[in-house]
Amino acid sequence: MAQKLWEKNVQVNEEIDRFTVGRDREMDLYLAKHDILGSMAHITMLESIGLLTSDELKVLLDELKNIYASAEKGEFVIEDGIEDVHSQVELMLTRRLGDVGKKIHSGRSRNDQVLVDLKLFTRAQLKNLAESVEELFRVLIAQSNRYKDVLMPGYTHLQIAMPSSFGLWFGAYAESLVDDMLFLQAAYRMCNRNPLGSAAGYGSSFPLNREMTTRLLGFDSMNYNVVYAQMGRGKMERNVAFAMASIAGTLSKMAFDACMFSCQNFGFVKLPDECTTGSSIMPHKKNPDVFELTRAKCNKIQALPQQIMMIMNNLPSGYFRDLQIIKEVFLPAFQELEDCLHMATYIMDKIKINEHILDDDKYLYMFSVEEVNRLAAEGMPFRDAYKKVGLDIEAGKFTHNKEVHHTHEGSIGNLCNDRITALMDDVISGFHFEVAERAENALLGR
């Protein structure tokens, strides 16, 4: 068994080692690139305060860039017996460069290493999510504009209620994503603060230049108080999980609608054939499995904040090993949500719309409010108009031309998609992803 960074003369029991390490080595592969970036910024700062020579810094940076390249290609591995990504990187440096590789840990702890790794990883994942949300948003707005004049029934209590339109239906989910993106931006801004230099949660006697590492890594600012930097472990993940859950809630509801509207009892939409599956005994079946799985995956993601809260809840200040378990539920969730977004974008772009739903007279009564409003506009008191139309329906005498004339903001005839798009554009511009991207490229010499 390889010696741990923290071991002295006594090796830990193998069963205890297996239990305490758990899935950390597997989870740390998500963090490998980001751990290397954090080390590059840290040692650049160490050289500036005299803890490394310029020659030592150069060879360390060159070797870290090589390790980063291997991580980018998916070739980075954490060897058997090595506890985590931090230990693996330091081991690789020491093997290749000798004792100089052991100098990179001055002024930091694995506590602030994993904090900065998680921040950098999450920052990158939030950028990917924001781009995927925007892609779905653009598709929904395009479909809303395309089908703005196609009417469909609106429902309350799953009873036919009032006229709606596919313009409204697509556009509603587009605007929902604007609010989700606002949550995502808040999560990004809370995430984009530098914890490096907090060490084990109480700072360091070395004269660390935390402003320098903040700038080198492209953070907006730092977590100033070193105790709070450590207290942020778990809190950051929980806040991000709430933003992810908000997106997942929108997707789950949209998936349910699409499943329901595509069944024969509704027949409002037709999903792309390549996105449906068949039955082993019923040759006519075309099942909306993609959206059913999306619904389930997104409902699972909506439980993520609660999972994280139950792990971190009631912990006092300082570091505790409980926090390690958060990685197991948090790190893989990004790819799951990404997959759901990509599937939803593909299907909503290719979905076929039934433009003749209202040919069926079973939807006639959804125009009852239109008739009440018409009579009221002509001078009849609203309550009298309501009663007249209700009695006509009961007597089987109700008729309507199946046309609507809605003009106010956000209604069938005035979708305000341009304003919804402007809202989304404003939120997207507030992320400032380019700052972090420039800083990381500069560290890597790109």
Contact 35, 85 (CB under 8 A): yes
Output phi, psi for 53, to 5 deg: -85, 165
b/e per residue 87-119 (b: at least 16 CB within 10 A): bbbbbbbeeebeebbebbbebbbbbbbbbbbbb
Residue 257 half-sphere exposure, CB side, CA atoms within 13 Å? 19
Q: What stretches of 303-431 show up as alpha helix (H) in DSSP?
A: 304-312, 326-330, 333-350, 368-377, 382-394, 417-429
Token pair belonging to 266 = 């509704």
Catalytic annotation, residues:
157, 279
User: Which residues lie closer than 8 Å to 418 by C-beta, 6 or more apart?
Assistant: none
Vertex 135 angle, CA 129 and 136, to 5°: 95
Calpha distance 89→67 (Å, rounded): 8
